[in-house]
Amino acid sequence: MFKLHKIKVFVNEEGKFGNLVGIVIDENSAINNKKRQEICTKSGLSEVVFIDNVKNSQVSIFSPTEEIPFAGHAVIGTGALLDKLNKKRTTSIRSMGNQIAVRHEGENIWVKAKVKTLPDWNFKQLNSVEEVVRIKPSEISKFKHCYVWSWIDKVEGTTRSRTFAPDWMIPEDEANGSGSMLLAHKLNRKLKVLHGKGSVIYANPVNPNTAELGGNVRTEQQMYYQ
């Protein structure tokens, strides 16, 4: 039996919306990689994180199809849980040999990652916010793992975005952190992203090789599984 912590990341000011990540503490390596992949695939979540070492903040991140080095909301949610477990603020998380810097600013947790570790999202810019809201998955089915967006206010750097990745077993992602990071990097702009039905994501370019991502979290529930 194992316990799955569910944490919602990129919630708005009222603590609503956001994207759920599942987190399992497995310091004794009781769950092998095959079982970890099965857990994630069956969970209905876009990612499940397995904490391999709490004190050293060593983790393994699984998507529904494979282990991956980085997922924005997954790392932020894990940072929040590690804060509680270690009774101090987390400053870095290690995943697949990559060191991910973590910082806290107000109610938001920020993570910094190398652009090369981010998934290769396909971007489609639309002409208006209304088009982003109305678009149906069937209309962009020819674009795999597609991040659809439009400016709300180009001067202020706010966007309206949605993400569709059925080819990665994610029909629609409520809050795509890594995609927002990559967009900020491509545009070389600090962004506030209103994503999905109402999630709030912050993303900044850092340098030609790095971007950072911020958001607020809420602990949802703990569930036990065989």
Whether residue 105 sits in one domain with residue 6: yes
- The percent of residues in the chain predicted with pLDDT above 70, rounded, is 99
Tell me what the mean pLDDT of segment 196-202 comes to.
Answer: 98
Q: What is the mean pLDDT of the chain?
A: 96
pLDDT for 10 beyond 80: yes
- My answer on whether 13 and 59 are in the same domain is yes
* 52, 148: one domain: no
**Strand, coil or helix: what is 41?**
helix
153 and 59 fall within a common domain: no
Question: What would the mean pLDDT of 85-96 be, rounded to a whole number?
Answer: 98
Residue 110 shares a structural domain with residue 122: no
**Counts of helices then strands in the chain (DSSP H, E):** 4, 16
Residue 51 shares a structural domain with residue 32: yes
- What pLDDT, on a 0 to 100 scale, did the predictor assign at position 219? 87
Beta strands 98-105 and 92-95, pairing class? antiparallel
What pLDDT does residue 183 have? Answer: 99
* 163-184 residue pLDDT tens: 999 999 889 999 999 999 999 9
User: According to the model, what pLDDT value does residue 37 have?
Assistant: 98
pTM for the whole thing? 0.93
Domain count, the chain: 2
**122 in the same domain as 62:** no
Domain extent at residue 127:
117-210
Same domain as 128, residue 101: no
Question: Domain holding 26: CATH number?
Answer: 3.10.310.10
Any idea what DSSP says for residue 198?
T
Asked if 159 and 152 touch (Cβ cutoff 8 Å), the reply is: yes
Which amino acid is residue 120, in one-letter code?
A: D
User: Tokens for 81?
Assistant: 């849980």
Q: Is the pLDDT of residue 201 over 80?
A: yes
Quick one: pLDDT at residue 138?
Answer: 86
For the residues 63-73, what does the mean pLDDT come to? 95
Per residue in 110-148, pLDDT (tens digit) is: 999 999 999 999 999 999 999 999 999 889 888 899 999
Q: Are residues 177 and 202 in the same domain?
A: yes
User: Residue 225 pLDDT > 80, yes or no?
Assistant: no
- Tell which residue, 45, 81, 51, has the closest CA to residue 175: 45
Residues 54 and 66 in one domain: yes
pLDDT at 226 over 70: no
Mean pLDDT, range 202-214, rounded to an integer: 98
66 and 131 housed in the same domain: no
Q: pLDDT class for 13, splitting at 50, 70, 90?
A: very high
User: Residue 224: its pLDDT value, please?
Assistant: 74
Dihedral pair phi/psi, residue 148, rounded to 5°: -100, 135
* High-pLDDT (> 90) share of the chain, %: 91
Cα R_g (the chain), whole angstroms: 17
Domain identity same for 19 and 107? yes
**Residue 62 near residue 68, CB atoms below 8 Å:** yes
